[in-house]
Structure 1
């Protein structure tokens, strides 16, 4: 059987743990409550030597067995059993870890439920009295309304079961109110996410049954009613509503400046995770506007993104790693604004925050882009061909940069061949983001025409005509194409 542990489920899981989580995981494994009386701590401490990437060739099943069973003949079945049981404990740890991450308001709700179910009425009443005010005083997050609806509902159920029906109305009516607020938050957040990530999905969402359902909800009317009756809830719900409108109606700049103004007014009332989300979405909206040709949003978005990065407010994965999309957007925005030194500093520091199993790809990706911007074209090609990120956005980025590099070095024959490969990538893609694909197809089309003009030594008028076509079209790397035409004329 295979001696390597590269594809072992336990190893793949352990790769996702941060240094701090690993320390917590060791305590979890050491607890008899979780390990069913089996001691797996020694195995964990051996594996710790290879954390976080677990890429060392020394990490083999043979090594683990020799360390665990000194002097005994190798029995793979024994080791596999230990690895499997430890994997089960590790999965339990993930569940435990996620529970601890829950909004504390939700934890208070569960505590009230436990006290109520066990008939501990005095304790439950005291818990309600101590919790209600503190629940309202702390900073808001996306889970606030959900947690409050659950707590108030649990409180009303306790009042009902303990025959205190005179106290039923207030918590139950508040629960209904928070149900509506939670509904607004969840719907707008999910809809915004789908629209913002449309490069990665393949369905016709705009004409879907789901979107038709949403079209029958009068969010504006709900927000006006909330504005008049709940001064605490309105600012947060209004920001989420304006955020959604800005994303769904990306051509309307008024929504963006409105949501930015309102968001900055309430940032200090939000917890850190919610602040991250709000700032990240503002930055994303700027990127979306830049893509459709609104150049003024390049600098606007970059200032927000710098604030996000420099204050460590960027969104992360569940494993506390930087999201690949966040890394990409930040790097490209910096180089597009000629902030090359900042981009290089960012890439060098934050590539270490990318998930270990894909980190090397992002090292090559960032080095390719920065080398290109420094006109180190040979190095740019060398790094670019090593990138193998299986997402269409990154594949198109690399094809784009290689094409531009070939043109800059007057390597027209390999460029022509590369453009054919670039074209086939797009044609074979199953992405439904036709706008994205068409922008890249337009780049291929215009770059081919420029090459043909250069190779056939056609007249200046041909380039000027092509320039007018590019200026009017939606095309990737438009600024670069126009610069090349200016240089040629």
Structure 2
């Protein structure tokens, strides 16, 4: 393994500029220092942050930085660098854990309460408990995990009241902790039920029934919702229940509307991360619904949800995280579907820099090519698509499909035939694309070549015959585009 791919360097790449500075202070701190002086190694490595370009950064360069008068390559020199790197990795792991504890005020407060109880410092418990409560109940931070955290905090309360022999409050808090745990359990049970359904519907994976399934089947969730209607967490349970009902009924609009209304009425109460997951649920249901029936109404709902998700900043789990390329692509594709070209251009300008650096230019060029193609500016689409170089499997296919459509519109027949040949070889050698999807692409290539020949011959009768075949074919990528071209012939 090359040095830039080692766990140490991969971890360091995730550090912010501020964290790289804090980490240096961390490794020289007398409290955390573990014998070896790791600062020289870190200083040598961090010079290459954040890219750690393999062409300029390797073991020999780092070793020479540490020991300029020694040669690198023998077993001893490699062992020395390996040992130092291993020690620095352990420090990085420790730093990441402590940094997380500093950021996670809820966990930090609970840890402090547990320490007070462990050390029999119960007279200070109430003061720190108030601080924990303040953080735990902050507005706009509710989530399923926050409910679980309330359960853990109630656990410290029961320990506290037990230690001061207050039996009444001990029981009261024990019962409340059970209530929180029950709410968390039911919410998570519904989440798992939805996940299983998605995996069956999309990946065709069958799951054996387990305890969670049996428990879920034996419950009357409607009754539970009525019993718990006064709980501040009731809306989360209701959302997951009605979104589940919509899902299993192939995007039933009544239950979907109910789940969406519950979410929109309460989204100001929940955390960014929880919004991310609930938006994902709604989008997945609509995507599945569109897969079943291909209604434009589903597509409109998907686009509106994507825009709302962007406006709420819920398109990524944390502020520091990168936007997922799949989300970026879906926004562009749906904007183009509804001919909302201004919004599409605005999105590429504003959000391309939120992708991982390795994806930014390619995604922007690809998106610009899609927008130009949608507008009928095929020359500009060709200019942009020619600049794209993709490593992601799905996008390699997307680029090839779009390139073929551009070649068709510009009557670049020679390039079109060359690309179909390249596409065929790519599909044949690729083992990551599912068999059915691969077949749909292969069918597209065959149909594409036939259309080129039909256009050349100007054979209208053959075009109409092929249109019927294309409509009837079970597996066909870009079906609507092919039909449009055949109708135009």
TM range (shorter): 0.7 to 0.9
* Contact 1:446-1:470 within 8 A present in 2 as well: no
The Cα shift of 1:439 comes to 5.6
* Contact 1:368-1:382 within 8 A present in 2 as well: no
RMSD over aligned CA atoms reads 3.8
Counterpart for residue 153 of structure 1: 155
The Cα shift of 1:430 comes to 6.6
The Cα shift of 1:286 comes to 3.4
Counterpart for residue 264 of structure 1: 264
Counterpart for residue 172 of structure 1: 174
Distance 2:200 2:23 in 1: 37
Q: Structure 1 468/101 Cα, relative in aligned 2: closer, same or farther at 3 Å?
A: farther
TM-score computed with the length of structure 2 as normaliser? 0.81
Per-residue CA deviations over 1:139-176 (Å, capped at 9, x if unaligned) read: 31231111111122232234335543332221111122
Q: Structure 1 72/347 Cα, relative in aligned 2: closer, same or farther at 3 Å?
A: farther
Structure 2 residue matching 1:58: 3-state secondary structure: coil
Per-residue CA deviations over 1:427-448 (Å, capped at 9, x if unaligned) read: x55748x5x6676566456545
The Cα shift of 1:110 comes to 2.7
Distance 2:410 2:118 in 1: 74
The Cα shift of 1:295 comes to 1.7
Question: Is 2:56 the partner of 1:55?
Answer: no
Per-residue CA deviations over 1:415-437 (Å, capped at 9, x if unaligned) read: 553564476478x55748x5x66
Counterpart for residue 29 of structure 2: 31
Counterpart for residue 89 of structure 1: 91
The Cα shift of 1:316 comes to 4.0
Query: What are the within-5 Å matches in structure 2 for residues 64-75 of structure 1?
Result: 64-69=62-67, 72-75=69-72
Per-residue CA deviations over 1:240-295 (Å, capped at 9, x if unaligned) read: 22333344444422232222211110011112222233234334443443444122
Question: Is 2:378 the partner of 1:375?
Answer: yes
Distance 2:211 2:458 in 1: 55
Distance 1:352 1:198 in 2: 35
Which consecutive residues of structure 2, in runs of 5 or more, have no partner in the other structure? Answer: none
Structure 1 residue matching 2:4: 3-state secondary structure: coil
Q: Structure 1 247/31 Cα, relative in aligned 2: closer, same or farther at 3 Å?
A: farther
Structure 2 residue matching 1:59: 3-state secondary structure: coil
Q: Structure 1 189/328 Cα, relative in aligned 2: closer, same or farther at 3 Å?
A: farther
* Contact 1:403-1:419 within 8 A present in 2 as well: no
Which consecutive residues of structure 1, in runs of 5 or more, have no partner in the other structure? Answer: none
* Contact 2:362-2:387 within 8 A present in 1 as well: no
Counterpart for residue 186 of structure 1: 188
Distance 2:471 2:263 in 1: 37
The Cα shift of 1:367 comes to 5.8
* Contact 1:223-1:234 within 8 A present in 2 as well: no
Q: Structure 1 363/9 Cα, relative in aligned 2: closer, same or farther at 3 Å?
A: farther
Q: Structure 1 469/349 Cα, relative in aligned 2: closer, same or farther at 3 Å?
A: same
Q: Structure 1 408/33 Cα, relative in aligned 2: closer, same or farther at 3 Å?
A: farther
Counterpart for residue 323 of structure 2: 322
Query: What are the within-5 Å matches in structure 2 for residues 429-468 of structure 1?
Result: 429=432, 431=434, 440=441, 443-444=444-445, 446-447=447-448, 450-451=451-452, 453-454=454-455, 457-460=458-461, 462-463=463-464, 466=467
Distance 2:392 2:402 in 1: 15
Structure 2 residue matching 1:51: 3-state secondary structure: coil
Distance 1:7 1:444 in 2: 38
Distance 2:40 2:368 in 1: 40
Distance 1:453 1:148 in 2: 68
Distance 2:135 2:390 in 1: 50
Distance 1:481 1:17 in 2: 48
The Cα shift of 1:235 comes to 0.9
Counterpart for residue 208 of structure 2: 209
Distance 2:225 2:151 in 1: 16
Counterpart for residue 239 of structure 2: 239
Distance 1:190 1:26 in 2: 42
Q: Structure 1 225/284 Cα, relative in aligned 2: closer, same or farther at 3 Å?
A: closer
Task: Count residues with an aligned counterpart.
Answer: 475
Structure 2 residue matching 1:313: 3-state secondary structure: coil
Counterpart for residue 336 of structure 1: 337
Counterpart for residue 388 of structure 1: 391
Distance 2:476 2:256 in 1: 23
Q: Structure 1 173/66 Cα, relative in aligned 2: closer, same or farther at 3 Å?
A: same
Structure 2 residue matching 1:350: 3-state secondary structure: helix
Counterpart for residue 9 of structure 1: 7
Structure 1 residue matching 2:32: 3-state secondary structure: helix
* Contact 1:423-1:444 within 8 A present in 2 as well: no
Structure 1 residue matching 2:153: 3-state secondary structure: helix
